[in-house]
Amino acid sequence: HLTARRTAAAGAVGADTLARPDCETVSIIGCGVQGHAQLAWMLKIRPIKQIFVYDTVPGQVQAFVKRARSEFDVPVEICDSAKQAAGKGDIVVTATWAREPFLFCGDVRPGTHITTLGPDGPGEAEVGADLLAASLFFADDADLQIEMGAIGGVGLGAEAISATIGEVLAGKKTGRQSPDDITIYGMVGLPFEDLAAGWLVYNKALKSGTGTQVDLAA
């Protein structure tokens, strides 16, 4: 539960940092737990006016749409393909188990921001090498992206990474450079983010007197 929430929060921070200020539509490709979580957190930071969704499992799409329509006051449209969904969103989130790329150059409009978080292990990929190379790519961790993330999954290396999101947030590197740039935030997922989130939750629980004390030395 904590990992899902901090992953979605990190994705929202990345999108808010890199996407154009005037973005109003978001496409979710992959309607599982993380797809919903990413959408929920995205709506906390951006005034989204239209949601597009796609998944290869029809029942999962229908369940996602039903839940989204009950929780969010934003229109939701089901797309016929990942390509169609990607072409409609100003912000595109891919949260799938794909082992082969399904988004390529020409599938998204200039100025689009993509968050790709499916590839978090060897042999996984969502975004093709051509689109990655033609975009500005930002990593949560550069080494892990090459080892097991979106970059390494399509055979690219350090040359395809513009910066880490931490460097952009710290003002050390530039993020989006023009409205027409295609930006991509690749997330492998970092354990220290769980530690940081867990520390916040732990201290809030102590302050409110919530939870059960456990003596780990016993």
The 10 Å Cβ neighbour count of residue 141 is 18
pTM (2 d.p.):
0.94
CA gap 204, 153 in Å, rounded: 39
Token pair in block for residue 106? 């020409």
Tell me, what's the pLDDT at 213? 86
Token pair in block for residue 30? 């992959």
Selection from 109, 160, 158 nearest residue 130 by Cα:
160
The pLDDT tens digits for 134-159 are 999 999 999 999 999 999 999 999 99
Distances (CA, A) of 159 to 131, 133, 142, 183, 216: 14, 9, 10, 15, 46
Yes or no: say if 26 and 93 are a contact pair by the CB < 8 Å rule.
yes
As a whole-number percent, the residues of the chain with pLDDT over 90 amount to 95
Question: Is pLDDT of 15 > 90?
Answer: yes
Tell me, what's the pLDDT at 218? 77
Selection from 48, 58, 45, 57 nearest residue 27 by Cα:
48
State the pLDDT confidence band at 205, using cuts at 50, 70 and 90: very high
Residue 109, judged by CB atoms within 10 A of its CB (0-12, 13-18, 19+), counts as middle
